[in-house]
Amino acid sequence: RPSAFAALSSRRGSVNCELLPSSPLQLIAPYVEAEWELILKGWLCSAVSVYCLARFVPKMGQLSSVMGRYGPERLLVEVMKLASLGVIRSVACYLQQAYLWEAALRAVCKIRVDVFGKLVHRDLGFFEGRGGIPTGEVAHRITAEAKDVADTVFALLNTSLPNALQLMAMATQMVVISPVLSFISALVIPLMSLVVAHLGERLRKISQEAQSSAARLSAYLNEVLQSMLVVKANNAELSETSRFQKFAYDDLTKLLKKRRAKVFVPEIVKVIHIGGTLLLCAAAVLASRGLFDSSYMVSFIISVALLVDPIEGMGKAFNELKQGEPAIERLFNLTNFRPQVIEKPNAVDRDSVAGDIKFCDVTFRYEETTRPVLDRLNLHIRPGETVAFVGPSGGGKTTLTKLLLRLYDPQSGQILLDDEDIKGIRLRSLRGHIGLVSQDVALFSGTVAENIGYKDLMGEINMELVEKAARTANAVEFIRNLPDGYDTDLGQKGSVLSGGQRQRLAIARALYQESSILILDEATSALDSRSEGLVRQSLESLTANHTVLVIAHRVETVLMADRIFLLDGGQLEEVSRSAFLSRDGKPAPPMANGLIV
């Protein structure tokens, strides 16, 4: 829908929002509709409560006029009748809100799960890319802002039908009692709603500003709290405090604006009360002229008061909606994307691969404007071969492996696996055949075994395989020394592991996959030379039956390879092994051969 898309993106003026299919309310509608049973129950309760109110009003009027004539017993009975109506109404009100909150919270919970489910399928580029949404802000949208959405949904459910019922019931009473007075009220009320609607639009803008400043604050916090080591090592506590102060005060300004508006708008709505009061005065004047019975007058006064109530409630709900709309848009925008890496409908599963990898004239750049990271690159890795990549940092080594995993697609050229374009293989299948030890080791909360058997997190983790992988990765010794061995939870303590230990867990995770292709992206860089030697020995035994792409800085690791490539300026150049050996045949010190290894 190009037109809706254009309208929306121009309104928001952001490059991240590509194609939002519909209005915020349409976005949440299916989720709310799914809770129809709870909503129906809630609305039935609201009908009961309005019914009680409608019975209450004339009874109250009657009682007020005949009270003087009743004896104490009769009076007690009548008062008890009224009171029981009140009690029933309270219970119904409670149930109404309980059901409707449950509907709202359940709907938003499903929205959250759906949003996350789509979010994880976004291209890696979204999570790494520059100018994208910072991860802290993404988290903020799914946690804090989703709560705002729940408030909005509840406000809508709780005011739409229930308030309309009350409004109709009271209006009917009023018309029955005095059409003239009702006519006057009917003139005042629409006027007020116009004012309220206008104010609501302003409130929406203000609350949008407040939300984005809160998101910025939490994105900033996320970043700093994760880098406390660097903060302290650089004596940056004070400068970070003053940065935080700036963000916090920025947020304060926005919050103040929002709060002021939030208080101001309902106050305006309360002016309706004044309109109501004026009507009452008029009613009193008419009553004193004997136009109608004073018992009716009491009923009319109560009706007006009870009519203003739902109108005020609708005004509040309208504000709530105006505030919730941006939160809904921002939440759904996370799932609103055109995938860059697309799986062909006729892509096939590959049961096994030999591991023959070809890059044919591959050109790739991250952004259209930048120079290519890989420039018409050609490479052939034969099955079972171990190939090392060296070169300056930023040379594109990691990028090359990302292309093989189809985390990005090259702009031109082809990548073949066993002579088949990887675009013809299903993504799950392709990635399942490639074990990756990434440059930045990621451990998840969960046990050691779960971190190694991460591939089978949903199914059953094969402990034999876990132990075998740990042995090969030379991780058994330190795992044994952890408080609960393989069952040690890394949730809190993940960071307590040393860099080398984390790296060995990552290697074990890749080995657990039992894939025929292995990518080791600076996998041994954080190991001390003793454990590096041990891991290398075990990797050497693997290289026999795996195709291995190893990106390394250490000469010893580089020498493990059958062939060595230098990747620089987007071009590959094969380097002879002898370049890494000194004259006596020992590994040369890294810098001696002029290569940045």
Residues that bind ligand ADP (CB under 6 A): 128-130, 366, 373, 393-399
Strand intervals (E) in 24-181: none
Query: For the chain, first and last CA: distance in Å?
Result: 51
| Min CB(204)–ligand ADP separation in Å | 34
399 binds Mg ion per the rule CB under 5 A: no
Instruction: Decide: helix, strand or coil at residue 20.
Output: coil
| Min CB(205)–Mg ion separation in Å | 43
Instruction: Tell me the window of 330-338, 423-431, 432-440, 581-589 that interacts with Mg ion (CB under 5 A).
Output: 432-440
Nearest to 328 by CA among 21, 45, 13: 21
**Pair 377, 570: CB distance under 8 Å:** yes
- In the bound state with Mg ion, the residue whose beta carbon lies nearer, of 398 and 557, is 398
Phi first, then psi, for residue 258 (nearest 5°) are -65, -45
Sheet-wide strand order for 420-421: 374-381, 357-364, 412-417, 420-421
**Contact track, Mg ion, 433-472, x by CB under 5 A:** ------x---------------------------------
**Pair 104, 153: CB distance under 8 Å:** yes
| Min CB(334)–ligand ADP separation in Å | 18
- In the bound state with Mg ion, the residue whose beta carbon lies nearer, of 375 and 456, is 375
| Min CB(124)–ligand ADP separation in Å | 7
| Min CB(561)–ligand ADP separation in Å | 16
**Pair 499, 336: CB distance under 8 Å:** no
| Min CB(239)–ligand ADP separation in Å | 26
Kindly state the DSSP code that residue 372 receives in the 8-state scheme.
P
| Min CB(369)–ligand ADP separation in Å | 11
| Residue 373 binds which of Mg ion, ligand ADP, none (CB < 5-8 A, kind-dependent) | ligand ADP
| Min CB(571)–Mg ion separation in Å | 17
| Three-state secondary structure of 391-414 | CCCCCCHHHHHHHHCCCCCCCEEE
Instruction: Decide: helix, strand or coil at residue 583.
Output: coil
Q: Tokens for 457?
A: 């997190």
Whole-angstrom Cα distance, residue 224 to residue 153? 34
Nearest residue by C-beta to Mg ion?
398
| Residue 395 binds which of Mg ion, ligand ADP, none (CB < 5-8 A, kind-dependent) | ligand ADP
| Min CB(561)–Mg ion separation in Å | 17
- In the bound state with ligand ADP, the residue whose beta carbon lies nearer, of 62 and 525, is 525
**Contact track, Mg ion, 271-290, x by CB under 5 A:** --------------------
Q: Which of 178, 323, 398, 474 binds Mg ion (CB under 5 A)?
A: 398
| Min CB(233)–ligand ADP separation in Å | 23
Taking the CA of residue 113 as centre, how many other CA atoms within 13 Å lie in the half-sphere pointing to its CB?
7
- In the bound state with ligand ADP, the residue whose beta carbon lies nearer, of 277 and 525, is 525
| Residue 128 binds which of ligand ADP, Mg ion, none (CB < 5-8 A, kind-dependent) | ligand ADP
Phi first, then psi, for residue 136 (nearest 5°) are -60, -35
Whole-angstrom Cα distance, residue 516 to residue 545? 7
| Min CB(397)–ligand ADP separation in Å | 3
DSSP 35-78: THHHHHHHHHHHHHHHHHHHHHHHHHHHHHHHGGGS-HHHHHHH
Overall size of the chain counted in residues: 597
- In the bound state with ligand ADP, the residue whose beta carbon lies nearer, of 112 and 397, is 397
Taking the CA of residue 523 as centre, how many other CA atoms within 13 Å lie in the half-sphere pointing to its CB?
31
Phi first, then psi, for residue 518 (nearest 5°) are -125, 130
Whole-angstrom Cα distance, residue 392 to residue 261? 55
- In the bound state with ligand ADP, the residue whose beta carbon lies nearer, of 185 and 399, is 399
- In the bound state with ligand ADP, the residue whose beta carbon lies nearer, of 330 and 397, is 397
| Residue 574 binds which of Mg ion, ligand ADP, none (CB < 5-8 A, kind-dependent) | none
Kindly state the DSSP code that residue 424 receives in the 8-state scheme.
G
Kindly state the DSSP code that residue 356 receives in the 8-state scheme.
-
| Residue 49 binds which of Mg ion, ligand ADP, none (CB < 5-8 A, kind-dependent) | none
- In the bound state with ligand ADP, the residue whose beta carbon lies nearer, of 96 and 399, is 399
Q: Tokens for 506?
A: 């990552």
- In the bound state with ligand ADP, the residue whose beta carbon lies nearer, of 384 and 590, is 590
- In the bound state with ligand ADP, the residue whose beta carbon lies nearer, of 365 and 423, is 365
Helical (H) or strand (E) element with 376:
strand 374-381
| Min CB(428)–ligand ADP separation in Å | 22
| Residue 525 binds which of ligand ADP, Mg ion, none (CB < 5-8 A, kind-dependent) | none
Strand intervals (E) in 230-270: none
- In the bound state with ligand ADP, the residue whose beta carbon lies nearer, of 396 and 410, is 396
| Residue 237 binds which of Mg ion, ligand ADP, none (CB < 5-8 A, kind-dependent) | none
CA-based radius of gyration for the chain? 35
- In the bound state with ligand ADP, the residue whose beta carbon lies nearer, of 297 and 552, is 552
Handedness of CA 43, 47, 48, 53 (dihedral sign): positive
Q: Tokens for 111?
A: 């929205």
| Residue 117 binds which of ligand ADP, Mg ion, none (CB < 5-8 A, kind-dependent) | none
Q: Which residues bind Mg ion (CB under 5 A)?
A: 398, 439
